[in-house]
Structure 1
Amino acid sequence: MSIRRAAIWSFASQYASFVIQFATSVIISRYYLLPADVGLFSIALAAAMVVAIFQDMGISRFVTGQPEMREEHLRDYAAVAVGLGWGIAALVAAGAVPLARFYGEAGLAKVMLIIAGSYALFPFSIVPSAMLTRALDFRRLFQANAGSALAGAVVAIATAANGAGPAALAWGMVAATLARLILVMAAYPVLPRRPASLEIVKPMLGFGGSSFVISLSGAVGMRCQDLIVGRMLGVSATGLFTRASALAGQLTTLMVGAINSVFYPAFAKKRDAGEDLAAPYLHLIACNTGITWAAAIGLALAAEPVVHLLYGPNWADVAPLLRWTALAELFFVAMPLQMDVPILLGRIKPLVWINLLDTFITVVILVVASFWGLEAAAIGRILTGAIWLAIYASYIPRLVGIRYSALGTAYLKSAAVALAAGAPLALSRWMSGAGAEMGFISLLGLSLAGVFCWLVALPLVRHPFWQELRLALSHMAKLRTTQA
């Protein structure tokens, strides 16, 4: 499958999964769960995910990115994945009661035990999914992702409607994991077997050692946020903070997650062919920022009406947090594949130290900011993002061979189109001061006006994303002509 065709399927997968998961979160939050319920689940999931970084141990990256892969060893790799996964599930289950006591929330134990069940199923799908990614078979990955998201949504909503509370989200996880396992196994079956020799899995374990440190650091940096906020500010505050962070993060995933998932195996193929990565990586940066910066600014400007229309008055306190977390995404999307590119180029050891520094700074800023309250914790995300970008921008461009002048030009063009996109909403707020009371029609009209301004600005500044849009429209026109 070609890179652009893979990207189309990856986009479809990303959008389908997003729509299903987003609709589920809106329905459950608006009609069934309160911020404290979501906060309780978020704390349980965060604690479980910190432990669950052992589950993959770099197996996915190893299978996807190796120049040569002997398929007869896949079942051995799968056995290692399952062994690690079951150990993790046992640890999560064992930590259920102590975690509940630590936070003083008895309901945490039940949620943790259900999450442990999903972790016992997950490792069976690691190697099949990695092989589908390696083959750029994003059509079957679309089926797995969309199917699992739908299964999880149905179960989560049904159990929430029956009064399961926070456990509804955990049961949705179990259903989604089971559905994904069935679908990827049907597409690329890999049954685990006991490795005949340590030599077979030794290269994978050696790769996984350094990758594990990176995964651990990343898990602590990402998931400790809910744990810190929950301990310092309470369960309800965690629910609000999680919802704001999730909305901003979902926006990023929706805009560029599909592109990034395709580029990792594509870069691996270019590396194996001895091709230069500087030009395509700079193009990826420009496309990431060109589309996501515009959307993030729009979300920050429309935070109050978005929260009010989606979640209702019970979640009104999410709006000021969303404004800051959306702006923080401007930094976090500006250096894509910051982990994957160094790994592909064999620079995993320096990456370990850089990632540890990034994680340390993230934790310190959040702890300090939380002393001033929940909104201060959200504002701290902007400072964290700025330092994060400074760290990786000082390393990745030099590693790939991108000149900083070219990187600066890409950022300036993306900033220009982002400001153009946000102009209608900013002007409306300045003139009318409308906030949460803004109606759906008004918000839709201003958003469409922002998209129009963005489309006009793209060719004016000669943004690289304009080329991608023209190619996509040309491809669609050819398809219509062929079908006619």
Structure 2
Amino acid sequence: MSIRRAAFWSVSGQYITFAIQFAASVIISRFFLKPAEIGLFSIALAAAMVLAIFQDMGVTRFISGQPQMRRDALGDYLTLTIGIAWSVAAILILSAPWLASFYDQPGLVGLVRLIGLSYVLVPFATVSCALLIRDMDFRGLFWVNAGSGLVGNITAVVLAFQGFSAFSLAWGVIVTALIKAISAQIMRPVAPRLRPRKKEVAPLLRFGSASFLISASAAIGQRSQDLIVGFILGIFATGLFSRASALAGQLSMLVTGAINSVFYPAFARKRDAGEPLAEPYLHLMACNTALNWAAMTGLAVCAEPLVRLLYGENWTGVAPLLFWTAIGEMLFIAMPLQMDIPILLGRIRTLVWINFLETGAAVMILALACLISLEAAAISRVLYGLVWWAIYAAFLTRLIDLPVWRVAIIYMQSAVCALGAGLPMIVLLYYLGSENVGLPALLLGTGLGGLAWVAMLFLCRHPAREEIRLALNVARGSLRARRLPG
């Protein structure tokens, strides 16, 4: 499958999955659950995902990124993955009462144990999905992710309607893991080996030991946010903070995550061929910042009317938090594949130390901000984003010989395009007032912003305009083919 065709399926999967998750979160938040209930689940999920770092031995990166791989070793990898994941599940189930006591929230016991049970199912999808990525079968991956997301989120909505409170979300996690495991095994069946061979799992363990340290530091920096906010500011504040972070993060993943997932195996092939990575990386950076910065600008500008329209009056406290988290997301996308590129180039040890440095900064900045206020916690995402960008920009610029002046030009072009995208919405908010902006005005501002963004891409001669040109040419060719007789 070509890179652009793979990107089509990957982008489609991201859009469908985002639409499903977004619709479910709006329905559940607006009609069924309150911020405190969402906050309780967020703490349980964050605790589970921090502990789940022990199950991430870099299996996906190992299978999809190594130059050569023996298919008969997949059973060994799966057995190892099962052993680690089931250990994580056991620890979560046994430690649930301690966590509930630490936060003085008895409801955490059942939530953590339910989420822990999902890790019994997770490994049966891990190896199979890694094979799909290695084979660049993003069409198959589309059906796995979209199908499991649809069934899991429908389950959560139905159970929330039935009055299961935060437990509806936990059951949704379990159902998603179950459907993903079944569908992934159908696409790429892999059976565990009863006695894994040491010579086969040894390379994975060597790779995974360094990958584990990277995943551990990344998980602590990312997943500990709700834990820190919950401990210092309480579960109500956690519900608001997690909703803002999730909305900004999901939209960011929607517009750029699919592109990045396609480029990882593509970069692996270029590495194996001995080709330089600077030019394709600059193009990836240009596409990422062009898309993400425009989307995040629009999200930040219309945060207040959007939150009121989607979630209702109970969630108005999300709006100022969403403004700052959206700006922070712009910084976190400015250096794409910040972990994948060093891993591909054999710089894992250096990456480990860099991850520890930026993780320490993340925890310290957020904890200090929480002592001030909830809005300060959201603002701290921008400060941490600047630190994060400075660290990885310095590292990757040297690693793949990025011309600094080219990077600066790309940033300036993307910033101008983002300003153009947000300008129509700014004008509408100025003349109408945010309290008077409803769905028609939001749709109008978004549509005009999209047109302004495309116009600015061409006026600024942004590198991403070539992707639009190509898409238009493909669309024209498809229309001509349909008009031809016979």
TM-score scaled by length of structure 2: 0.98
1:226 equivalent in structure 2: 226
Partner AA of 1:411 in structure 2: Y
Q: Partners of 2:397 and 2:174 in 1: how far apart? A: 40
Contact 1:56/1:126 (CA < 8 Å) preserved in 2?
A: no
1:102 equivalent in structure 2: 102
In the TM superposition, residue 195 of structure 1 has moved relative to its aligned partner by 4.0
In the TM superposition, residue 196 of structure 1 has moved relative to its aligned partner by 4.7
Q: Partners of 2:161 and 2:326 in 1: how far apart? A: 31
Q: Indicate yes or no: 2:472 matched with 1:464.
A: no
1:391 equivalent in structure 2: 391
In the TM superposition, residue 454 of structure 1 has moved relative to its aligned partner by 0.6
Q: Deviations over 1:358-409 (max 9, x none)?
A: 0000000000000111000000000000110000000112111111001001
Matches within 5 A, 1:108-187: 108-187=108-187
In the TM superposition, residue 470 of structure 1 has moved relative to its aligned partner by 1.0
Contact 2:362/2:384 (CA < 8 Å) preserved in 1?
A: yes
In the TM superposition, residue 480 of structure 1 has moved relative to its aligned partner by 3.0
2:443 equivalent in structure 1: 444
Q: Partners of 1:204 and 1:446 in 2: how far apart? A: 50
Secondary structure of 1:401's partner?
coil
In the TM superposition, residue 478 of structure 1 has moved relative to its aligned partner by 2.0
In the TM superposition, residue 140 of structure 1 has moved relative to its aligned partner by 0.5
Secondary structure of 2:84's partner?
helix
Q: What number of residue pairs does the alignment pair up?
A: 483
Q: Indicate yes or no: 2:341 matched with 1:358.
A: no
1:301 equivalent in structure 2: 301
Partner AA of 2:469 in structure 1: R
Q: Indicate yes or no: 2:251 matched with 1:251.
A: yes
Select between 51-60 and 15-24 the one with higher mean Cα deviation: 51-60
Secondary structure of 1:254's partner?
helix
Secondary structure of 2:436's partner?
coil
Q: Indicate yes or no: 2:392 matched with 1:381.
A: no
Q: Partners of 1:428 and 1:184 in 2: how far apart? A: 46
Distance 1:316 1:475, change over 3 A: same
Q: Partners of 1:350 and 1:331 in 2: how far apart? A: 22
Distance 1:41 1:474, change over 3 A: same
In the TM superposition, residue 200 of structure 1 has moved relative to its aligned partner by 1.2
1:20 equivalent in structure 2: 20
Distance 1:53 1:436, change over 3 A: farther
Q: Partners of 1:115 and 1:121 in 2: how far apart? A: 11
Secondary structure of 1:462's partner?
coil
Identity %: 53
Contact 1:56/1:123 (CA < 8 Å) preserved in 2?
A: no
Q: Partners of 1:43 and 1:221 in 2: how far apart? A: 15
In the TM superposition, residue 476 of structure 1 has moved relative to its aligned partner by 2.3
Q: Indicate yes or no: 2:39 matched with 1:39.
A: yes
Computed over aligned residues only, the root mean square deviation of the Cα atoms, in angstroms, reads 0.9
Partner AA of 1:29 in structure 2: S
Secondary structure of 1:121's partner?
coil
Q: Deviations over 1:54-75 (max 9, x none)?
A: 1121111111100000001011
1:454 equivalent in structure 2: 453
In the TM superposition, residue 427 of structure 1 has moved relative to its aligned partner by 2.4
2:277 equivalent in structure 1: 277
Secondary structure of 1:395's partner?
helix
In the TM superposition, residue 225 of structure 1 has moved relative to its aligned partner by 0.5
Q: Deviations over 1:54-111 (max 9, x none)?
A: 1121111111100000001011011000111100110111111111111111111111
Q: Partners of 2:154 and 2:293 in 1: how far apart? A: 33
Partner AA of 2:437 in structure 1: M
Secondary structure of 1:69's partner?
coil
- Consecutive unaligned residues in structure 2, runs of 5 or more: none
Distance 1:381 1:71, change over 3 A: same
Q: Deviations over 1:329-380 (max 9, x none)?
A: 1100100110000000000000000010000000000000001110000000
Distance 1:222 1:141, change over 3 A: same
Partner AA of 2:451 in structure 1: F
Q: Partners of 1:300 and 1:79 in 2: how far apart? A: 45
Secondary structure of 1:450's partner?
helix
Q: Partners of 1:345 and 1:194 in 2: how far apart? A: 34
Partner AA of 1:463 in structure 2: H
Partner AA of 2:412 in structure 1: L
Partner AA of 2:79 in structure 1: A
Partner AA of 1:479 in structure 2: S
Q: Deviations over 1:238-282 (max 9, x none)?
A: 000000001110110110010000000110011111111100000
Secondary structure of 2:391's partner?
helix
Contact 1:195/1:201 (CA < 8 Å) preserved in 2?
A: no
Q: Partners of 1:39 and 1:387 in 2: how far apart? A: 27
Q: Partners of 1:369 and 1:413 in 2: how far apart? A: 32
Contact 2:325/2:378 (CA < 8 Å) preserved in 1?
A: yes
Contact 2:13/2:145 (CA < 8 Å) preserved in 1?
A: yes
Partner AA of 1:258 in structure 2: A
Contact 2:79/2:196 (CA < 8 Å) preserved in 1?
A: no
Distance 1:219 1:196, change over 3 A: closer
1:478 equivalent in structure 2: 477
Partner AA of 2:445 in structure 1: L
Contact 2:429/2:437 (CA < 8 Å) preserved in 1?
A: no
Q: Partners of 2:355 and 2:279 in 1: how far apart? A: 25
Contact 1:286/1:465 (CA < 8 Å) preserved in 2?
A: yes
Q: Partners of 2:462 and 2:62 in 1: how far apart? A: 34
Distance 1:436 1:75, change over 3 A: farther
In the TM superposition, residue 20 of structure 1 has moved relative to its aligned partner by 0.4
Q: Indicate yes or no: 2:332 matched with 1:332.
A: yes
TM-score scaled by length of structure 1: 0.99
1:266 equivalent in structure 2: 266
Q: Indicate yes or no: 2:362 matched with 1:367.
A: no
Distance 1:90 1:477, change over 3 A: same
In the TM superposition, residue 43 of structure 1 has moved relative to its aligned partner by 0.2
Partner AA of 1:465 in structure 2: A
Select between 142-151 and 442-451 the one with higher mean Cα deviation: 442-451
Q: Partners of 1:114 and 1:367 in 2: how far apart? A: 28
Partner AA of 2:316 in structure 1: A
Matches within 5 A, 1:57-76: 57-76=57-76
Matches within 5 A, 1:80-99: 80-99=80-99
